Amino acid sequence: MKNKSLLIMLAIILITSFIGGSTIFSQPNEADMEKRVSSDLRTLYKPTKKTEVTEVTEVTEVTEVSLAAVGDLLIHKEVYNDAKTSSGYDFNPMFQEVSSHLSSADITFANSESIMGGAAIGVSTYPSFNTPFELGDTLKANGIDIVSMSNNHTLDRGVPAIENAINQWDFLGIEKVGSYLSPEERDTITTIEKNDITFSFLAYTYGTNGIPTPDGKPYLVNRIDKDLIASDIKRASSKSDVVVMSLHFGKEYERNPSADQKELAAFAAEQGADIILGHHPHVLQPPEWIQNTDGSQSLVFYSLGNFLSGQEEKYRRIGGIAGVTVQKVKGMEGTSIDIKEPRFKLTYVDFENDQDFKILPMKEFNADMFQELSKHMKTSIHDLLVN
Ligand SMILES: [Zn+2]
């Protein structure tokens, strides 16, 4: 399915066979050879071949989709207090400097770490978060298409917060994955289609800070479970061109992926996850290509860092917008998918005295820090486009 080189080779064979007449497929007799060679040479330089080459390209259809992803939206009290207005909350000013970068992608993903249960049940901070609905308004305005709700804070405020959050994401027209209100919803694969390319989304978390899942309701939060992951990927693959998996995993504040993260990502990739979006460590971890045994490659961003939070330490203020282009080529011999041009736009959460929170593009904000983080992000993918 992902074998682009096979498709290119086929196109070359077809073109070659047109240019070379029937020499590849039939046995010419000796007497005809000289005539044929000179005729073939003429043919090579005659414009008549144009028509035949066009016939080959006409049956090939190429479409592309850009996918973007940001990490943790962790709305501590410093952040929601800063967003407070006379009538509610307004997070828009915090996103102003990065808005165009989020909106420009065809599909944009975010990790909704602090559950968005809404102010009606009382906003709250660490260790038991609850975020106002207005964050969703801002994400909608900034082009976010899908959020993961599966993380260690999913169960912080119980079922009411989950119900409110799911209903509000539905109301906003933002897709959500990883937390559901029924077994049927959990078993329904979430897909987004753009430019004739269908993406399926799956999401899992390592745990929920010791809060047990309410009895008989495992659908409330998807936990990392290899059997579940394998069967979900199988169903997702049958419904989509590209499987995107959100994984809430790794050790907090570790700037490189752990052996466990690598092992799980490789497992998911081998099962068919094409793009893995990792988060939880609250700091950036360098992305990597994973080589699968079928010859395909999967792209894993082990940790996307904090996109917006009240955490103060330098590396916990750093996040970014991951990007990748997915190309679909439909030809006579089938369809191929190419995951290409991985990229990363570095960001920094600026604030002073717990006020004036702003997500800033790092390159413009701090050139030295940009150089340092750029090098860090290119640890494994040396040609990663960092800006
Ligand atoms: Zn987390």
pTM exceeds 0.75, yes or no: yes
Domain ranges within the chain, ordered by starting residue? 4-58, 63-386
| Distance, CA of 379 to CA of 371 (rounded, Å) | 13
The average pLDDT across 129-136 equals 98
Ligand 1 centre and the CA of 306: distance in Å? 10
pLDDT at 333: 87
CB-proximal residues (5 Å) to ion ligand 1: 151-152, 280
What CATH number should be reported for the domain whose range is 63-386?
Answer: 3.60.21.10
The tokens of 368 are what?
Answer: 């030295």
The pLDDT mean for the chain works out to 89
Residues 6+ apart with CB under 8 A from 173: 140
What does the H/E/C string look like for 66-109? Answer: EEEEEEEECCCHHHHHHHECCCCECCHHHHCCCHHHHHCCCEEE
Ligand 1 centre and the CA of 29: distance in Å? 72
Ligand 1 centre and the CA of 152: distance in Å? 5
Residues 6+ apart with CB under 8 A from 284: 255, 303, 304, 305, 315, 318, 319, 320, 373, 376, 377
Ligand 1 centre and the CA of 13: distance in Å? 51
Cis peptide before 127 (omega within 30 of 0): yes
Hunting for tokens 């939070």 — which residue is that? 309
- Per residue in 277-299, pLDDT (tens digit) is 999 999 999 999 999 999 999 99
Ligand 1 centre and the CA of 209: distance in Å? 9
Ligand 1 centre and the CA of 100: distance in Å? 27
pLDDT at 57: 53
Ligand 1 centre and the CA of 279: distance in Å? 7
Using the Cα atoms of residue 68, residue 196, residue 3 and residue 228 in order, give the sign of their dihedral: positive
Question: Is residue 340 within 8 Å of residue 298, measured between CB atoms?
Answer: no
The SS3 assignment for 245 reads strand
- Per residue in 30-81, pLDDT (tens digit) is 444 444 434 443 333 333 333 444 455 557 999 999 999 999 999 999 999 9
| Distance, CA of 36 to CA of 77 (rounded, Å) | 81
Ligand 1 centre and the CA of 126: distance in Å? 11
| Distance, CA of 244 to CA of 79 (rounded, Å) | 29
Ligand 1 centre and the CA of 250: distance in Å? 9
Hunting for tokens 């989020």 — which residue is that? 102
Ligand 1 centre and the CA of 281: distance in Å? 7
